[in-house]
A = this chain, B = another copy of it.
């Protein structure tokens, strides 16, 4: 049965690799308005000259902004949408009546295969809801997840963590899917052959944590036997920026809390550092001398550099950029989208996760048969 499964590490020969690279970008809904999105688009387009973009939003607002960016005229197609989703809109409302929004239009371009990947800075809940009902879940996936890249001690400089907030709940079977999808994402985003996967828990011993964590442990352990990833067992919060694993798997409640605690702590330490360096004349001079190194450090831990949570488990890839992203942040999200599109990420995940899920069911029945 193992033989019948595709090797997840083999390159996927897909039509997508040959066709035009197109990214669908929602211009509206970010905290800094369409200016930040178009600024980011300009930066990303310069970095990816082979990419084309469909930009969704209010024509009357976007046309004058685009007119100022000559370099974009040949690579951007404007698609008018009368309405924008706000941060206060409820996901359920947008699901029912969001057809005229730029967000909906942005996802629709991926559904219709006009673009390979969608990017939006808008309301996360609404974006997930629209993505779910329009793109639908991949076969074998019960709960889609949001994966993020996390600055770490690893050689790649980042770890993958998921779910960071798609769903507050996850069963052991969901955690197994997250492990598979997270490993696939790490292969593409971090260029790793066999990513090391860990399950987030409150201790590293096998008997620790909630009972469902122990079930998940066994499922992930068993699934790792096909060689698509290696399973390192339970990891703790301290391993998220560490080098023990490449992929940290958890439910969306704990993942979101960890993500925001980590971001908040890094920001707090940065503030204390700044006020420290301003506290005496000597340290001011010192800071001045160390300035260029300190700037490099800021870049190393700057969340904007890795801006973009990726929705995994849908028939199409969606990159969620931070709501407060500036041009640098939006450019990072669009660049990530280009990378995912270039490597036919959606095709890869589908090839790995969906048959794996089917095989997993077979294996479960086989296993039952064998043990009875």
Contacts and interface: CB of A to CB of B under 8 A. Distances in A.
Interface stretch (A47-55, A113-121, A262-270, A346-354): A262-270
Contacts of A168: 202, 209-210
A32 interface: no
Identical subunits present: 2
A201 to B, nearest CB: 8
A279 B151 CA distance: 19
Given A237-B259, A260-B238, A261-B237, A297 B268 contact: no
A261 B279 contact: no
Contacts of A262: 237, 261-262, 264-265
A264 B293 contact: no
A136 interface: no
Interface string A12-25: 00000000000000
Contact of A264 (B241, B256, B268, B277): B241
A140 interface: no
A283 B276 contact: no
A189 interface: no
B264 A240 contact: yes
A236 interface: yes
17 contacts: A202-B253, A237-B259, A238-B261, A240-B265, A242-B268, A250-B257, A254-B254, A261-B261, A269-B269, A272-B300, A276-B293, A276-B300, A283-B289, A283-B290, A283-B292, A283-B293, A285-B286
Given A250-B257, A261-B262, A279-B296, 16 more contacts: A153-B268, A168-B210, A237-B257, A237-B258, A240-B261, A241-B265, A254-B254, A257-B257, A258-B261, A261-B261, A265-B269, A266-B269, A276-B290, A279-B293, A282-B292, A285-B289
A-B pairs, 7 with minimum CB distance: A237-B260, A286-B290, A286-B289, A238-B264, A237-B261, A283-B293, A283-B290
